[in-house]
A and B are shown apart, each in its own frame.
Chain A
Amino acid sequence: MTMEKLENIPHISEISNCGVFSGCRAKRRETFRERSASSDKVLPSIEEAIRRTGLRDGMTISFHHHFRNGDHVLNQVMDVIAAMGFHNLTLAASSLAAIHAPLIEHIKNGVVTHIETSGMRGELAEAVSRGLMDCPVVFRSHGGRAAAIRAGKLHIDVAFLGAPSCDPYGNANGYSRDDDSSICCGSLGYARTDAKYADKVVIITNDLVSYPNAPWAIPEYDVDYIVRVDDIGDPAGIMSGATRYTSNPKELKIARTAANVIEASGHLYDGFSMQMGSGGASLATARFLREKMLEKNIRCRFALGGITGQITAMHEEGLIDRILDVQSFDLDAAMSLKKNHFHHQIGATYYASYLFNAAVNQLDFVVLSALEIDTNFNVNVLTGSDGVIRGAIGGHPDTAEGASMSVVVAPLVRGRIPTIVRHVGTVVTPGEVVDVVVTEQGIAVNPRRPDLAEKLAAAGLCVHTIEELQQKAEALVGVPSPIRFKDKIVGVVLYRDNTVIDTIRQIDEDET
């Protein structure tokens, strides 16, 4: 066969091509098994993987938080990075837990100089609140983070992603198809964004399974290297067997009221959609909704978000058609993801990105928790009554804005600490998108939603003003002395569109 000269082909400049054929790649003759055993993506150590990624001082590295407080990946990788002498890194985790306290040393030693996360707890959060870092920590919602990564505002150089199963080519998942006894975290939704957009991706797994590890959360073409280690996490800290419904009568009372609010709002119709946040009362709301669904003989089209065994049980019962799972909260949820075809794993972008018509925009309602709610309906889920960081934004503002109705459930007071206050310590979700507040002592509807107030009143629900609830709380526990802060800004809170919505200052503990 004689190949025409390219220039002799009419319109060749308009036809997409890569030049003239010059021969195939060398044909491989090993068996499939032999090829798998010699995959050049699988590296012997984390150190080798770091070296191969080309990590340099000043770069951004990322981790996911699907292992919650049982995560052993982040600390393990950071110890190696520190030992290799890197400095001035930005750590962009989808969230951080109490177990990540060893980061304090890495920050003191200059290994990590900036952090981006959804939240923070424990000793690290305490230290940051006391001014540990020069550069403020950036707090983003899950949707905000996904949007920032996609838009290049948060560029990840190297992602280190723990995975309970991975094959030699990098197809990784949050559970193992072959084995129920190994570590399991269910959905790897937040990690999928990192895998897709990071320059280099390293999967850290304890279970190297044979190709193809289908179904996968992360496809092999997004993965550069794989390291098998013995320990990626503590199963007990990653997830417990099943999130039990609360038996706390106060939480049950709140949950029952929230379910009544949802019914009265008109959002409980055949084919509705919903999301239940974490927290005793919001999870328990599902139980009362279930009773109403059975009574009315209606079904939910889809449940979104962090998924628990309660939601999957309703799916298996035929009450919920589809589950969109960005994060599995318990083992029952993870097992359902594995066995139920219509329990579907989604990534952070699909879930909540501001840049798309994300799944949160299809919600009828979301039930969310709060640390504080103020009389302008602003919600704080990030800092405690002492000003110390002790929470995570999660999908709070994403779902509150996306859903037709956002319901925030919280006790009026927690011990001696009021929940309904004049001003929240930190605005995470602005009052514009918070529609109804449910406490055990009454319901308040945002004056921006007279339509909802009218429907609730028509259903015979007793609606208070938020000021009345605030006054009730104040009558019970009084007015706490104001928290003292220093001038230094230790945290910057971004709204889901990545605009700055609030700042967190260093707490002042000096003797006065």
Chain B
Amino acid sequence: MYRETEIIKDATAIDADGDLVINVGPQHPATHGVLHLVITLNGETIKKVEPHLGYIHRSIEKMCESLTYRQFIYVTSRMDYLSAHINNHACALCVEKGLQVEIPPRAQVIRVLMDELTRLASHELWWGAMAMDLGAFTPFFHAFRERETINDIMEETCGARLTMNYMVPGGVMADIHPNFQKRVKEFIQLYKSKINEYDELVTGNIIFQNRMKGVGYLSPKDAISYGCTGPTARGSGVSCDIRKLYPYEVYSKVAFDEILETGCDSFARYMVRIKEMQQSIRIIEQLIDNIPEGDFQAKTKAVLKLPKGEFYSRVETARGEFGVYIISEGGMTPYRIKFRSPGFSNLSALDHMARGSKIGDLIAMMGTLDLVIPDIDR
């Protein structure tokens, strides 16, 4: 496969117009995975960015066609591995839509708590990695200090740190660990005592601001046209938070703000994520002492069969709108399943954003898109 790709073979990488074509990736520290970009440069100015995908394509959609409705959820943790809970959640919601199961209130609250912890963990990693892309290594360790605490909480309740597979059709797989509430509260204390460090280290830094402001402009109209969602679109002032627009579970009952920035540049997208972390803390604080008693899972049949028809569910992951589209023929397995991944659409806007900027800024732009490659390739 490596030989087949368009890695430039001949020495004349400069074409007739004097443009230089270079490859970034598939193995490059700033692409955070196996993303391959073919960039056409004129001097230092970018003329074209062309993503080549598929280095981690596993055809998850096709795999799911031969898995039952209980089994296929486990595969989806491997797509957006930083939002594993939320991916599982979307799939569980879609199956529940077909089965028309009512989920117990306890399970609903646990699900939202887990989603928000996942969002926090994902944004923490993004923040550390993004600063590292720009040459600051220290923030990475600061971010991981908090992220590891969340992973420890997850490990205790779900048994895994990355691919949790905790959400099942009808609720969650097991009840929360007795220590869960105590440890989440400890985490909130830790987070609040450290949040100022984030701004001191990175946000207020003049070098950082100069590299982010006015870079990677994406107008609101283009953001919608390219199908951008999540913090990428909200940095351009497009209201697209699924938790607000089409609330699921208990999101309609908790108070939180949809963060909108109007800068349309890399710094706006950065600020959206930073502020979103505080909103996640706000949601967790409201729910952590109010987990209702009762079942953590609704009673469902051992073998699930969805009626003939089509079901679509959408949730807000850390990267944007994640959709699950199931076409059922009435059997034990889906006839066709489609995952609408946020990263795939966000990446398609990169070429438009990057044209005319300098190559050094490309890394900053990619950082603010928060790309997770398995989520794009599926």
- Do they bind each other? no
